[in-house]
C-alpha cells in the first residue's frame, strides 16, 4: 500500500484497502474559513443539530474578511464567532493569516492525519504527509461534525517524479505552474498524486507546498509528499514539536504501490506565468513580457510565504515599484510577518513602494480588497485566475513566482527578474 491507502486503512479500522473501494474513516481535522464555515454552520444548525463530540478537531480561521468591509459581512463573522464558541470549536480570528498557512503554523496538521475542508485547496496539507481532501459543506455538516467521520473512495495513485536541476532564476512556483500545463487541467481526475523525485525531495517544506497546492487544478482528489527528514525538521519548528514519540511517520511500501508513474525533467523550464483565463494557460515569462499590470500582489494560498517576501526584497533592492503599479504584500501568517520584521524586510519593501496588508487571504475573490475594473490586470502569487475571480470578468489575472511579481511591479508590466537578483528567490 502507499501512504494514502495506509492512512485510509488505519482510519477506517481495516488492514488494507484497494483503489475504488468506499470506506468510512475517522477525520482528524476539519479546516474551515469564514465563508465555508458560515455555509457549513447553516446546514448543520438547520438540518443536523446534534452535539459535536470532538470540537477541538475543528479549526476555523477568518481569512477572507480580515476586517469586514460591510455590516453584512460583520454580521457573518459575528455569527461564525458565536457558532464556534458555542460548540467549542478552535477559532483563529481576523489577522491570523491564510487558512492553510495558519493551520499549519498553529500545529494543527500532522503527518498521517486525515484533514478535510471545503476550501478546494485543502489538499495542500499533503505537503506534510497528511491525507487532505476537499469535501463539500454537507459532508462536514452531515458526518464530520456529528460523527467525526467521512466517506472516501480510495483513489488510484499517480506518482509524479521530478528530476533535474532548475535553470538559474527558475523557482519551484515556476515548476509547479509549468507542471500544471504539462499534465493538463483536469487530466488526473479523482487520482491521488504523490510528488517525489530528487527535485521535490531536496526542496524545503515551504517549496514542497507549491506542488500539492495544484492538485485541484489537475482534477485530483489529493496530493502528497511522503514525510521524511525535511518534514520532521519542519515539524520541530511548530507548536507541539515533532509530535509524540514512538509514532513513526507513515510511508508507502515503495516502487509498486502507484498505479502509474509520470517522470519529468525540469532542467530546461524557464520562469512561467499563468495567463488568463486558467491556471494551466502558462507561458514563459519572456513570451508574456510587456503586458501592462496595474496591480501586483504577494499573497494567497500559494504566496505570502517568507520565501516570497525575501525574493521580492531581493528583486526590489535598489529599485522602486513603478508609479503606475501598486504592489501589495500579504503575509501568509502572523509568524511570517514577525520574521519579515526581524529580517528588516518590512522596512525595505515599504521604502521600495510596496504596501503591507494584514495576514489573510489577500485579494482572493475581492471580498475585502483588490477588486479589478474592466481592462485592469494583476500579477500575483495567488492560486486562481478565472475570469471574474477578483471583480470584472474583463480584468486579467496572471499567476507567477514572487520574483516575477516583484520584477513586474517594478517594471509596470510583466517582466522577468533581472539576472542575479533571484539567488534566493523561491
Partner 1 sequence: MGGTTGIQGGPDGKTGSRFEGPCWTFGDNIPTDQLIKSRYVFDPMDVIVQHVLEDMDPEFPRQVEPGDVVVAGRHFGQSSGRAIAAKALQATRIGCVLAESFARTFYRNCFEIGLPAMEVEGITELARKGDRLAVDITTGTVTNTATGESRVGRPADPFLVEMLAAGGLIALAEQRPELFA
Residues at the site binding partner 1, with contacts judged by CB under 8 A: 22, 24, 35-36, 38-39, 43, 47-48, 72, 76, 117-120, 122, 134-139, 141-143, 146-147, 149, 151, 153, 185-186, 189-190, 216-217, 219-221, 278, 365, 367, 384, 386-389, 393
Residue 339: burial class (beta carbons within 10 Å; 0-12, 13-18, 19+): middle
State how far the Cα of 138 lies from the Cα of 28, in Å rounded to an integer: 18
Nearer to partner 1, 225 or 397 (CB): 397
CA 71 to chain centre: 29
Nearer residue to partner 1 within complex by CB, 76 or 426: 76
Radius of gyration (Cα) for the chain, nearest Å? 21
* Phi/psi of residue 69, nearest 5 degrees: -80, -15
Smallest gap from residue 408 Cβ to partner 1 (A): 24
As a residue count, the chain comes to 426
- As measured in angstroms, the least distance from the Cβ of 421 to partner 1 is 34
Backbone φ and ψ for 366, nearest 5 degrees, come out as 55, 35
In the chain, the N- to C-terminal Cα span, in Å, equals 33
Cβ distance to partner 1 smaller for residue 185 or 257:
185
- Nearest CB to partner 1, comparing residues 130 and 134: 134
Measured between alpha carbons, how far is residue 293 from residues 373, 378, 400, 410 in Å?
Answer: 12, 5, 13, 10
245/22 Cα distance (integer angstroms): 32
CB of 142 to partner 1, least distance (A): 4
**Least distance between partner 1 and beta carbon 51 (Å):** 14
Shortest CB 11 distance to partner 1, Å:
13
Nearer to partner 1 among residue 353 and residue 388 (C-beta): 388
Query: Which pairs with CB-CB distance under 8 Å and at least 24 residues apart come from 234-242?
Result: 234/128, 234/204, 234/205, 235/110, 235/111, 235/128, 238/104, 238/105, 238/106, 238/107, 239/106, 239/107, 240/107, 240/110
Considering the complex, what minimum distance in angstroms separates the CB of residue 384 from partner 1? Answer: 7
The minimum distance between CB 204 and partner 1, in angstroms, equals 28
Nearer to partner 1 among residue 242 and residue 371 (C-beta): 371
Question: Between residues 235 and 275, which has the closer beta carbon with respect to partner 1?
Answer: 275
Distance (Å, whole) CA 166 – CA 425: 12
Report the candidate in 381, 388, 384, 389 with the shortest Cα–Cα distance to residue 120: 384
Nearest residue (CB) to partner 1, 40 versus 231: 40
Distance in angstroms (rounded) separating the CA atoms of residues 35 and 227: 31
Task: Decide whether 55 or 387 has the Cβ nearer to partner 1.
Answer: 387
C-alpha triplet 367, 372, 375: angle, nearest 5°: 160
**Shortest distance, position 20 Cβ to partner 1, whole Å:** 8
Least separation, in Å, of the C-beta of 121 and partner 1?
A: 9
Q: Compute the distance between CA of residue 99 and CA of residue 108 in angstroms, rounded to an integer.
A: 11
Amino acid at each position: 500500500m502507499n501512504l494514502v491507502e495506509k492512512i485510509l486503512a488505519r482510519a477506517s479500522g481495516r488492514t488494507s484497502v484497494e483503489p475504488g473501494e468506499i470506506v468510512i474513516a475517522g477525520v482528524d481535522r476539519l479546516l474551515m474559513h469564514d465563508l465555508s464555515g458560515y455555509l457549513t454552520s447553516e446546514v448543520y444548525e438547520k438540518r443536523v443539530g446534534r452535539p459535536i463530540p470532538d470540537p477541538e478537531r475543528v479549526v476555523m480561521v477568518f481569512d477572507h474578511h480580515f476586517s469586514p468591509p460591510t455590516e453584512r459581512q460583520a454580521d457573518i463573522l459575528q455569527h461564525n464567532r458565536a457558532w464556534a464558541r458555542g460548540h467549542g470549536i478552535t477559532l483563529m480570528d481576523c489577522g491570523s493569516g491564510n487558512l492553510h498557512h495558519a493551520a499549519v503554523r498553529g500545529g494543527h496538521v500532522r503527518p498521517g492525519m486525515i484533514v478535510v475542508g471545503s476550501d478546494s485547496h485543502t489538499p495542500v496539507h499533503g505537503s506534510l504527509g497528511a491525507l487532505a481532501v476537499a469535501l463539500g459543506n454537507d459532508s462536514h455538516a452531515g458526518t464530520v461534525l456529528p460523527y467525526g467521520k467521512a466517506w472516501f473512495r480510495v483513489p488510484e495513485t499517480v506518482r509524479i517524479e521530478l528530476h533535474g536541476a532548475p535553470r538559474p532564476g527558475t523557482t519551484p512556483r515556476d515548476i509547479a505552474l509549468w507542471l500544471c500545463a504539462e499534465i493538463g487541467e483536469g487530466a488526473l481526475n479523482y487520482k491521488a498524486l504523490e510528488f517525489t523525485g530528487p527535485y521535490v525531495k531536496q526542496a524545503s517544506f515551504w517549496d514542497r507546498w507549491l506542488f500539492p497546492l495544484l492538485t485541484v487544478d489537475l482534477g485530483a482528489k489529493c496530493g502528497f509528499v511522503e514525510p521524511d527528514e525535511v518534514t520532521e525538521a519542519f515539524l520541530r519548528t511548530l507548536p507541539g514539536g515533532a509530535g509524540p514519540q514512538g509514532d513513526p511517520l507513515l510511508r508507502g511500501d515503495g516502487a509498486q504501490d502507484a498505479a502509474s508513474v509520470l517522470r519529468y525533467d525540469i532542467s530546461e523550464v524557464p520562469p512561467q506565468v499563468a495567463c488568463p483565463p486558467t491556471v494551466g494557460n502558462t507561458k514563459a515569462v519572456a513570451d508574456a513580457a510587456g503586458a501592462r499590470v496595474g496591480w501586483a500582489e504577494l499573497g494567497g494560498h500559494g504566496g505570502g510565504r517568507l520565501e516570497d517576501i525575501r525574493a521580492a526584497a531581493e528583486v526590489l533592492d535598489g529599485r522602486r515599484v513603478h508609479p503606475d503599479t501598486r504592489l501589495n504584500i500579504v503575509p501568509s501568517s502572523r509568524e511570517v510577518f514577525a520574521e519579515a520584521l526581524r529580517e528588516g524586510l518590512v522596512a525595505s519593501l515599504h521604502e521600495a513602494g510596496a504596501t503591507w496588508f494584514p495576514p489573510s487571504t489577500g485579494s482572493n475573490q475581492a471580498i475585502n480588497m483588490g477588486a479589478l475594473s474592466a481592462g485592469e490586470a494583476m500579477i500575483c502569487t495567488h492560486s486562481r485566475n478565472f475570469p471574474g475571480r477578483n471583480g470584472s470578468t474583463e480584468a486579467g489575472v496572471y499567476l507567477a513566482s514572487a520574483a516575477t511579481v516583484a520584477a513586474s511591479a517594478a517594471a509596470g508590466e510583466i517582466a522577468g527578474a533581472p539576472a542575479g537578483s533571484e539567488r534566493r528567490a523561491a
